[in-house]
Chains A and B, each alone.
Chain A
Amino acid sequence: MLKEGQVRIPSGCAISGMFSKTGQRQSGENIIQSISVMHERSNGLGGGFAAYGIYPENKDYYALHIFHDHLAAKNECESFLERHFDLINLSKIPTRKHKGVTDEPLIWRYFVTPLPTKLESSQLDEREFVAKCVFRINTRIEGSYVCSSGKDMGVFKAVGFPEDVGRFYRLDEYEGYCFTAHGRYPTNTPGWWGGAHPFALLGYSVAHNGEISSYDANRRAIEMYGYSCTLQTDTEVITYIFDYLHRKKGLTFQEIASVISAPFWQTIEAMPPEEKETHEYLRNAFASQLITGPFSILVGFEGGLLALNDRLKLRSMVVGEKDDMVYIASEEAAIRVIEQDLTRVWSPKGGELVLVELEGGSR
Chain B
Amino acid sequence: MAIRYIYSEYEVSRNTDRCIVCRVCERQCANEVHTYLPEQNKMTADESKCVNCHRCVSLCPTRALKIIKGNNTYKENANWSNKTMNELYRQADSGGVLLSSMGNSENYPIYFDRILLNASQVTNPSIDPLREPMETRVYLGSKAVKIERDEKGRLKNNLLPHLKLSMPIMFSAMSYGSISYNAHESLARASEELGIYYNTGEGGLHEDFYPYGKNTIVQVASGRFGVHKAYLNQAAAIEIKIGQGAKPGIGGHLPGKKIVGDISKTRMIPEGSDAISPAPHHDIYSIEDLSQLVYSLKEATEYKKPVIVKIAAVHNVAAIASGIARSGADIISIDGFRGGTGAAPTRIRDHVGIPIELALAGVDKRLRDEGIRDQVSVVVGGSIRSSTDIVKAVALGADCVYIGTAALLALGCHLCRSCHEGKCNWGIATQVPELLKRLNPDIGYKRLVNLLTAWRHEIEEIMGGMGINSIESLKGNRLMLRGVGLNEKELEILGIRHAGE
Interface residues of A (CB under 8 A from B): 8, 10-12, 187, 210-218, 220-221, 223-225, 249-251, 255, 262, 264-266, 274, 277-278, 281-288, 290-294, 311-312, 314
Is the beta-carbon distance between A250 and B147 smaller than 8 angstroms? yes
Is the beta-carbon distance between B159 and A281 smaller than 8 angstroms? yes
| Set of chain A residues within 8 Å of B478, measured between Cβ atoms | 216, 220
**Contact residues, B419-448 vs A (CB, 8 A):** none
Neighbour of B135 across the interface among A211, A265, A286, CB < 8 A: A265
| Set of chain B residues within 8 Å of A250, measured between Cβ atoms | 147
| Set of chain A residues within 8 Å of B127, measured between Cβ atoms | 312
**Contact residues, B143-186 vs A (CB, 8 A):** 143, 145, 147, 154-155, 157, 159, 162
Is the beta-carbon distance between A224 and B133 smaller than 8 angstroms? no
**With A281-B159, A284-B139, A292-B470 known to touch, is A314 a contact of B476 (CB < 8 Å)?**
no
Q: Is B16 an interface residue (CB 8 A)?
A: no
Please list 18 pairs of residues, one from A and one from B, whose beta carbons are closer than 8 Å in the complex, sorted by A's number: A12-B123, A210-B124, A213-B468, A214-B468, A216-B476, A217-B472, A217-B473, A220-B477, A223-B368, A224-B368, A264-B135, A265-B137, A266-B133, A281-B159, A283-B472, A288-B476, A293-B468, A314-B124
How far does the alpha carbon of A311 sit from the alpha carbon of B469 in the complex, in Å? 9
How far does the alpha carbon of A238 sit from the alpha carbon of B248 in the complex, in Å? 42
| Set of chain B residues within 8 Å of A264, measured between Cβ atoms | 133, 135
Q: Is B500 an interface residue (CB 8 A)?
A: no
How far does the alpha carbon of A251 sit from the alpha carbon of B125 in the complex, in Å? 30
Q: What are the interface flags for B288-309 relative to A under an 8 Å C-beta threshold, 1 for contact and 0 otherwise?
A: 0000000000000000000000
Is the beta-carbon distance between B475 and A292 smaller than 8 angstroms? no
Give, as a whole number of angstroms, the nearest-CB distance from B142 to chain A: 10
How far does the alpha carbon of A262 sit from the alpha carbon of B123 in the complex, in Å? 22
Nearest residue (CB) in A for B495 is A220
Give, as a whole number of angstroms, the nearest-CB distance from A252 to chain B: 9
How far does the alpha carbon of A44 sit from the alpha carbon of B400 in the complex, in Å? 44
How far does the alpha carbon of A249 sit from the alpha carbon of B143 in the complex, in Å? 13
Q: Is B466 an interface residue (CB 8 A)?
A: yes
Is the beta-carbon distance between A292 and B147 smaller than 8 angstroms? no
Is the beta-carbon distance between B479 and A8 smaller than 8 angstroms? yes
| Set of chain B residues within 8 Å of A314, measured between Cβ atoms | 124-125
Neighbour of A278 across the interface among B155, B371, B475, CB < 8 A: B155
Give, as a whole number of angstroms, the nearest-CB distance from B417 to chain A: 38
Give, as a whole number of angstroms, the nearest-CB distance from B261 to chain A: 43
Give, as a whole number of angstroms, the nearest-CB distance from A41 to chain B: 14
Neighbour of B155 across the interface among A224, A281, A292, CB < 8 A: A281
How far does the alpha carbon of A220 sit from the alpha carbon of B479 in the complex, in Å? 10
Is the beta-carbon distance between B124 and A293 smaller than 8 angstroms? yes
Is the beta-carbon distance between A221 and B473 smaller than 8 angstroms? no
Give, as a whole number of angstroms, the nearest-CB distance from A240 to chain B: 15
**With A224-B373, A287-B472, A288-B472 known to touch, is A294 a contact of B125 (CB < 8 Å)?**
yes
Give, as a whole number of angstroms, the nearest-CB distance from A45 to chain B: 14
Is the beta-carbon distance between A284 and B159 smaller than 8 angstroms? yes
Most buried by A among B147, B397, B467, B473: B473
| Set of chain A residues within 8 Å of B132, measured between Cβ atoms | 312
Give, as a whole number of angstroms, the nearest-CB distance from A295 to chain B: 9
| Set of chain B residues within 8 Å of A10, measured between Cβ atoms | 123-124
Nearest residue (CB) in A for B146 is A249
Most buried by A among B125, B137, B373, B469: B469
Q: Is B458 an interface residue (CB 8 A)?
A: no
Give, as a whole number of angstroms, the nearest-CB distance from A291 to chain B: 7
Q: Is B474 an interface residue (CB 8 A)?
A: yes
| Set of chain B residues within 8 Å of A11, measured between Cβ atoms | 123
Nearest residue (CB) in A for B496 is A216
**With A10-B124, A281-B157 known to touch, is A290 a contact of B470 (CB < 8 Å)?**
yes
Is the beta-carbon distance between B124 and A287 smaller than 8 angstroms? no
| Set of chain B residues within 8 Å of A293, measured between Cβ atoms | 120, 124, 467-468, 473
Is the beta-carbon distance between A284 and B143 smaller than 8 angstroms? yes
How far does the alpha carbon of A286 sit from the alpha carbon of B475 in the complex, in Å? 13
How far does the alpha carbon of A291 sit from the alpha carbon of B470 in the complex, in Å? 9
Give, as a whole number of angstroms, the nearest-CB distance from A245 to chain B: 9
Neighbour of A312 across the interface among B154, B469, B473, CB < 8 A: B469
**Contact residues, B325-361 vs A (CB, 8 A):** none
Known: A249-B147, A294-B124. 8 other contacts (CB 8 A): A214-B474, A223-B368, A264-B135, A265-B135, A265-B137, A284-B139, A286-B143, A290-B470
The 3 closest A-B pairs by CB, nearest first: A214-B473, A213-B467, A216-B479
Neighbour of B477 across the interface among A187, A211, A215, A294, CB < 8 A: A215
**Contact residues, B449-489 vs A (CB, 8 A):** 466-470, 472-480
Give, as a whole number of angstroms, the nearest-CB distance from B498 to chain A: 14
Is the beta-carbon distance between A215 and B476 smaller than 8 angstroms? no
Is the beta-carbon distance between A220 and B368 smaller than 8 angstroms? yes
Nearest residue (CB) in B for A225 is B371
Give, as a whole number of angstroms, the nearest-CB distance from B368 to chain A: 5
Is the beta-carbon distance between B473 and A291 smaller than 8 angstroms? yes
Give, as a whole number of angstroms, the nearest-CB distance from B474 to chain A: 7
| Set of chain B residues within 8 Å of A281, measured between Cβ atoms | 155, 157, 159
Is the beta-carbon distance between A224 and B124 smaller than 8 angstroms? no
Most buried by B among A223, A266, A287, A291: A287
| Set of chain B residues within 8 Å of A220, measured between Cβ atoms | 368, 397, 476-478
How far does the alpha carbon of A201 sit from the alpha carbon of B479 in the complex, in Å? 25
Give, as a whole number of angstroms, the nearest-CB distance from B421 to chain A: 45
**With A187-B123, A210-B124, A213-B120 known to touch, is A292 a contact of B469 (CB < 8 Å)?**
yes
Q: Is B389 an interface residue (CB 8 A)?
A: no
Is the beta-carbon distance between A217 and B477 smaller than 8 angstroms? yes
How far does the alpha carbon of A288 sit from the alpha carbon of B139 in the complex, in Å? 12
Is the beta-carbon distance between B133 and A278 smaller than 8 angstroms? no
| Set of chain B residues within 8 Å of A211, measured between Cβ atoms | 123-124
Is the beta-carbon distance between B143 and A278 smaller than 8 angstroms? no
How far does the alpha carbon of A340 sit from the alpha carbon of B206 in the complex, in Å? 74
Nearest residue (CB) in B for A281 is B157
**With A211-B124, A287-B472 known to touch, is A216 a contact of B480 (CB < 8 Å)?**
yes
Neighbour of A287 across the interface among B143, B397, B479, CB < 8 A: B143
How far does the alpha carbon of A187 sit from the alpha carbon of B123 in the complex, in Å? 9
Is the beta-carbon distance between A277 and B469 smaller than 8 angstroms? no
How far does the alpha carbon of A34 sit from the alpha carbon of B480 in the complex, in Å? 36
Give, as a whole number of angstroms, the nearest-CB distance from B376 to chain A: 13
Q: Is B192 an interface residue (CB 8 A)?
A: no
| Set of chain A residues within 8 Å of B155, measured between Cβ atoms | 255, 278, 281-282
Give, as a whole number of angstroms, the nearest-CB distance from B275 to chain A: 38
Nearest residue (CB) in B for A8 is B479
| Set of chain A residues within 8 Å of B474, measured between Cβ atoms | 214, 217
Is the beta-carbon distance between B135 and A216 smaller than 8 angstroms? no
How far does the alpha carbon of A278 sit from the alpha carbon of B477 in the complex, in Å? 26
| Set of chain A residues within 8 Å of B147, measured between Cβ atoms | 249-251
Is the beta-carbon distance between B124 and A290 smaller than 8 angstroms? no
Is the beta-carbon distance between B467 and A285 smaller than 8 angstroms? no
Nearest residue (CB) in B for A311 is B469
| Set of chain B residues within 8 Å of A266, measured between Cβ atoms | 133
How far does the alpha carbon of A8 sit from the alpha carbon of B397 in the complex, in Å? 20
Nearest residue (CB) in B for A315 is B124
Give, as a whole number of angstroms, the nearest-CB distance from B501 to chain A: 9
Q: Is B26 an interface residue (CB 8 A)?
A: no
Nearest residue (CB) in B for A283 is B472
Nearest residue (CB) in A for B472 is A287
Is the beta-carbon distance between A214 and B477 smaller than 8 angstroms? yes
Nearest residue (CB) in A for B365 is A220
Nearest residue (CB) in A for B162 is A284
Give, as a whole number of angstroms, the nearest-CB distance from B464 to chain A: 10
Is the beta-carbon distance between A216 and B157 smaller than 8 angstroms? no
How far does the alpha carbon of A283 sit from the alpha carbon of B475 in the complex, in Å? 14
| Set of chain B residues within 8 Å of A292, measured between Cβ atoms | 467-470, 473
